[in-house]
Every structure is written in structure tokens, then in C-alpha cells.
Amino acid sequence: MRIKKLLRKSIKLRQAIRNWRLKHIQPRWQKILARDRDYWNNKKAQKKGKNILIATSVGAYLPGVITESMLAAALEIRGANVHILLCDGMLDACLDCGYKITETDWTLAEFGPQKNLCGNCCVHTAKMLSALGVTVYRYSDWLTKDDILRADRLAVEVPFEQIAHFTLEGIAIGEHAYSGALRFYSKGSIDDEPLAEKIVRRYFRAAVITACVMQNLLRAQTYHAAVFHHGIYVPQGIIGEVCRNNRIPVINWNVAYRKSCFIFSHTDTYHHSLMLEPTQNWEHLPWNTTLDSALDNYLQSRWKGSQDWIWFHERPQFDKDKIASTTGIDFSRPCIGMLTNVMWDAQLHYPANAFPNMREWVLRTIEYFSTRPELQLIIRIHPAEIWGGNPSRQKIADEIKKVYDTLPSNIFVILPEADVSTYVLMKQCNAIIIYGTKMGVELASMGKPVIVAGEAWIRNKNITMDALNAEHYFALLDTLPLKNCFSQNAIERARKYAFHFFFRRMIPLEFMKPIKGWPLFKLDLKSIRQLEQGNSLGLDIICNGILDGKEFIYPYETTIDKNSL
């Protein structure tokens, strides 16, 4: 605990630990390849395949560096020509910058990341990648003096109030820049931040530089596909837009929820693509007791997080009566659950649907339920507000207090630090309202009616009640409490999707071994031959998706006997 407190207080200590990790937790490709050097050299000599761009960019993002260097090796073995793109200190701000995590806003505003972050970011990653012998491009390789002058001019001349909506040659420069600044501050609104304009302009200049780099690179090189993590923020969001504008297929990925698993998606970040995924990918899945048991086993494990990378509460309270005593909720009366997201995260990942932002959704929902005293509204604030990698600096409870000195007696706020099981709370509810949380997938599969106000992944699946606008949202609330429960067919449909989401879209890579702390996992390869076709079904699916455009769906249902339930 003392170490955690020191880390929270000392940016210098966090920066020192970051730099140590960059030097010591990188994959040791030289050592891995030494065991099969002739094999690797022969594979590289034979390759005459497709050009693949892996646009890692942020060398300090270790989950990305570990995974994408592994993908580079696997794709080279399959005959591809892999090019990797790294930033070499050319950006004024990026994904690696976080308020009082890696930088203070004053340091970033005055000096950029070059003062404390850039020096170690590219150097160690480029050295690690050199062992693979793949082509590594740096941002500075694809920038001209005119590009830099253009970025300088735009960063100064564009009025601040116009930045968020600024586009350049069809690229939403301003949107990604503003999103990057919100992520840096870990807030949904930065109007009260004294240095907000300077920070936004740094992200704006970085977005312009990224667009120039990508446009110049794609004029000189032809790529079959571009692969990179996230697909949002600066620089990844800009990279995706430029590639799509140039008709280069984009593959984005993120670390999934289950241990040693990853989500890959075509065209865009999975935060967006999952909402538009064809239902044919899962609705005809032959359902049986074996799949049902596997899903039950996993969903139950999520109550304690035993099968996931991240868990927010070590010892949550599961006793319903004790929860009632602590919170004052009367579970004998009709309850409606409400699950929030982290404010800045929800604004960036999910374009608001019924409401312009999550704050307005929360406040207007409280206003509505203040006129419905026969219903109890239980607002469970997301634990990631305080326990996530970027703890929120704009908290829902504070926003509520600004409007309500005292809440109506039928409305209960469960704070993020409360050691109360969200699952137990929601099981007592007649229906649950969500904005963008993945818990909508879980709760629907448990037979709970779900009303979706924002852009959640469970939307558009003919499972939930999806609000089209604010008027429609309140019309849905008028139907509460619901008298009819889910039909068995509806529950089975919800469970099919949950199985698809948690077991088929989350692709296992058995050589990505979980570790305590950042970066969550390490590469555990004894031989480069482990990356050959046929040795890892998950890796084969990923590589086939990149090289041949196939779906990133793992057929867990056909391998279930080989997987521990």
C-alpha cells in the first residue's frame, strides 16, 4: 500500500518505473531467434507476400509493442513483408501522456512530451524490433519542412472554439485532438482546466503531424492492410482515418477481458464495429447445454474476476441483506438499476444517442425518477472511476451534487469505492438502464430487461430496448416496472450473443502469459516455431483475418472439450 501511495504522489517515480519497464519487459527476440536462426533466416529469404503496415507508433505502450512485434514475426513466417511505424519524438502529445500519470499538464503544455517521455519511447522499442530484421520506419522519415510549418501554422491559427470540429482533407483532425485532450485530463469536460487550450492545441498539432506522416507514407508505399492497437485517440485514430480514406483495410485490436485473450476487428475500433456486427455471425449458433454451462461458468467467474485480466474489488459484498442494511435500499419494493461508465471514456468510445453526453443522461434520469416515488432508482457508479488505469478526474457523484444537495428518498447512489457486488444489486432490479457498459451483455443473458440510452455493444441485437432519442427513452421509462419477463427464446438469444462476445470474439493466444501489474502480460515463447501456421488456432485466425480478410471469430464451440470450463 505504501508503494501505491508513493506512485500516486510521485510522477518522477512513475516515470522511472515506466523507463525501467521499457528497457526490461520488451520481448527478447534476439534470444528467441537464436534457437532457430537458420529457420528464421530461411523464412525471411522466402517471403514474397503482401505488404502489411503495423502502425505501432507509441513505443512506450507495452501491450502494443509486445503484441505487435509478435504479429510481425508471425506474419513474416507466413510470407508477408512487414513494415512497422514508430514515432520518434515528433508528436506534441500522444496516447502515452496522462495527467499526473506520465506528465503534469504544465510540463506538457510548456515542453511537450519530449522533456520527459520521448527519449526512452522509441529507442528501446526500435532496438528490440531490430532483432527481427523487419523494416522499421520513423515518423521523421515521412515529414517534410513544409509539413511541419503547416502543422505549426494550423496549431496557432485555428480558433480554439473551432478545433473540435476541424477537418483537414476529409480527416477529423479536431475530433481526435479534442478526444486526446479529454483522455489526458481523464474528464468528460475540460472547460474549467486553466491549461486546456494549450493541451488541446498540442494534441491538434500532433494530429496534423500524424496525418502528414501517413499521407506521405501511403503515397510511397502500397499496403494490403494496416494493423494497430486502439484505433482511437492520437495518433491511432488519425492513422485509421487516413488509411480508410486511401482504401487501405484497417485492422484494430485491444486486449480483451478474459486472460490471454484479444479482440480484433476489421475497419474500425471494436468499440464501434461490435455495434454494427452482422447478427448472422452468432444468432444461428447451435445452442446446447455444453455451451450454456461454459457461459454460466464464465459469467459466474466475473463476480470475482478469476478469469479476467482486471478486477476492481478484491472482496465485494455479496450478501443481499447486508447490502440492503448498508445502502438503505428496500429490495421488497420495485428497483430499477442504472449503470454508468467513466465519463471521459463513455464520451469517447460511444457516440451519444439519446443524450448529448452521459452527464445529461444521469441528471435527466434522476429528474424523471424524482416524479416516480413508487420506484427505487439504484445508480451504480463504475468502479473504474477510481480504480481504472486512468482514474477519472470528473466524477458522476460530484456532478450529481452540483445539482442536488439532497437526492429524493427513492434514489440511491452507490459510489465506485463501495465494496458492493454490482451483480447482486442488479439481480434485485426489475430492469436495468445502461449507457455504454458491457454489463448490458451479461445482464441480458441473465434474463434481465435492459434499456440502452447510449452506444453499448448490446445495442442493435434485437435483445435490448434501444432508445432512439430522449423522447423515446422517457417513453421506455414510462413502461416501468415491467410486468412481463424475458421469454425463454429471448433469453437464449441474449445468451448466444454473450457466448459469441466473450468466447468467440475474444481470441486466445496461449503464449501471452498474465503477469501482475503493467503491462498485464508477457510473451512466453520458447521457439519462434510456435508462431507457425497450425500451432495456435487463435494466432491462425488473427493472421488469416489480416492477410485474407476473414472474420476474427474463434470457434470456441468446436474446441470446447479442449478448453477448461
Q: What is the CATH number of the domain that holds 442?
A: 3.40.50.2000
Residues 241, 324: one domain? no
More confident residue, 352 or 303: 303
Residues 351, 437: one domain? yes
- pLDDT higher than 60, residue 22: yes
173 pLDDT band (50/70/90 cuts)?
very high
- pLDDT higher than 70, residue 353: yes
Q: Of 460, 477, 494, which residue is a domain's last?
A: 477
Q: What is the CATH number of the domain that holds 70?
A: 3.40.50
Work out the average pLDDT over 477-488: 92
Residues 39, 167: one domain? yes
* Cα 70 to Cα 54: distance, rounded to the nearest angstrom: 11
Residues 91, 222: one domain? yes
Report residue 171 CA to chain centroid gap. 22
For residue 432, what is its C-alpha cell?
436495468
* Cα 553 to Cα 506: distance, rounded to the nearest angstrom: 8
Whole-number average pLDDT of the chain: 93
Domain assignment present for residue 482? The answer is no
Q: Work out the number of other CB atoms within 10 angstroms of the CB of residue 368.
A: 15
Using one digit for the tens of pLDDT, what is the confidence trace for 101-151? 788 999 999 999 999 999 999 999 999 999 999 999 999 999 999 999 999
Report residue 112 CA to chain centroid gap. 25
The per-residue pLDDT for 484 is 81
Residues 344, 454: one domain? yes
User: Is-contact 43 77, C-beta < 8 A?
Assistant: yes
Residues 327, 468: one domain? yes
Cis peptide bond N-terminal to 235, omega within 30: yes
Residues 203, 92: one domain? yes
Q: Report DSSP letters for 473-539, one per residue.
A: HHHHHTTPSPSSPPPHHHHHHHHHHHHIIIIISSEE-TTEEE-SSTTSEEE--S-GGGGSTTS-HHH
Domain assignment present for residue 495? The answer is no
The residue to which cell 500522444 is assigned:
94
Residues 382, 473: one domain? yes
Residues 34, 147: one domain? yes
- pLDDT higher than 70, residue 348: no
351 pLDDT band (50/70/90 cuts)?
low
The per-residue pLDDT for 535 is 98
- Residue 511 Cα distances to 28, 469, 508, 514, angstroms: 14, 45, 9, 9
Provide the percentage of residues in the chain whose pLDDT is more than 90.
Answer: 79
Work out the average pLDDT over 248-270: 96
* Cα 478 to Cα 145: distance, rounded to the nearest angstrom: 60
* Cα 236 to Cα 222: distance, rounded to the nearest angstrom: 19
Q: Of 229, 248, 267, which residue is a domain's last?
A: 248
The per-residue pLDDT for 271 is 82
The per-residue pLDDT for 19 is 87
Name 336's Cβ contacts closer than 8 Å, sequence gap at least 6.
369, 375, 376, 377, 378, 429, 430, 431, 432, 433, 480, 481
565 pLDDT band (50/70/90 cuts)?
very low
* Cα 206 to Cα 180: distance, rounded to the nearest angstrom: 10
* Cα 260 to Cα 472: distance, rounded to the nearest angstrom: 40
1 pLDDT band (50/70/90 cuts)?
very low
311 pLDDT band (50/70/90 cuts)?
low
* Cα 102 to Cα 115: distance, rounded to the nearest angstrom: 11
Q: Report DSSP letters for 331-344, one per residue.
A: TTS-EEEEE---HH
Q: Where are the alpha helices (DSSP H) in 328-404?
A: 343-349, 358-369, 384-387, 396-403
* Cα 177 to Cα 206: distance, rounded to the nearest angstrom: 8
Domain assignment present for residue 274? The answer is no
The per-residue pLDDT for 310 is 74
* Cα 255 to Cα 276: distance, rounded to the nearest angstrom: 20
> How many domains are there within the chain?
2
Domain assignment present for residue 551? The answer is no
φ, ψ dihedrals at 302, nearest 5°: -70, -20
Residues 323, 210: one domain? no
Q: Work out the number of other CB atoms within 10 angstroms of the CB of residue 20.
A: 11
Residues 218, 324: one domain? no
Domain assignment present for residue 484? The answer is no
- pLDDT higher than 80, residue 399: yes
- pLDDT higher than 50, residue 42: yes
Domain assignment present for residue 123? The answer is yes
The per-residue pLDDT for 127 is 93
Domain assignment present for residue 522? The answer is no
The per-residue pLDDT for 8 is 57
The per-residue pLDDT for 102 is 82
The residue to which cell 471521459 is assigned:
344
Provide the percentage of residues in the chain whose pLDDT is more than 70.
Answer: 96
The per-residue pLDDT for 552 is 98
Domain assignment present for residue 268? The answer is no
* Cα 348 to Cα 190: distance, rounded to the nearest angstrom: 14
Name 70's Cβ contacts closer than 8 Å, sequence gap at least 6.
27, 509, 511, 523, 525, 531
Residues 85, 172: one domain? yes
Q: Which domain holds residue 362?
A: 312-477
The per-residue pLDDT for 375 is 99
- pLDDT higher than 90, residue 402: yes
* Cα 168 to Cα 205: distance, rounded to the nearest angstrom: 12
For residue 427, what is its C-alpha cell?
439481480
- Residue 412 Cα distances to 16, 402, 440, 527, angstroms: 42, 16, 20, 55
- pLDDT higher than 80, residue 346: no
- pLDDT higher than 90, residue 2: no
